[in-house]
Amino acid sequence: MFNFAPDRRRRKPDLTPMIDVVFLLLVFFMLASRFTQETSLPLAAATGQGGEWQGAPRLVDVGPEGTVELNGVEMPMADVMAQLERLTESPSDPVIIRAKEADLQDLVGVMDQLGGAGFARLILVE
Domain residues of the chain, as ranges? 59-125
Per-residue pLDDT tens for 69-93?
888 888 888 888 888 888 888 877 8
Q: Taking residues 50-68, report their average pLDDT.
A: 79
Per-residue pLDDT tens for 1-10?
677 777 777 7
pTM value > 0.85: no
What is the β-pairing status of strands 94-99 and 59-62?
A: parallel
Contacts of residue 67, defined as CB under 8 A and 6 or more positions apart, other chains included, come to: 74
Q: Taking residues 18-32, report their average pLDDT.
A: 94
What is 59-125's CATH topology? Nucleotidyltransferase; domain 5 (3.30.420)
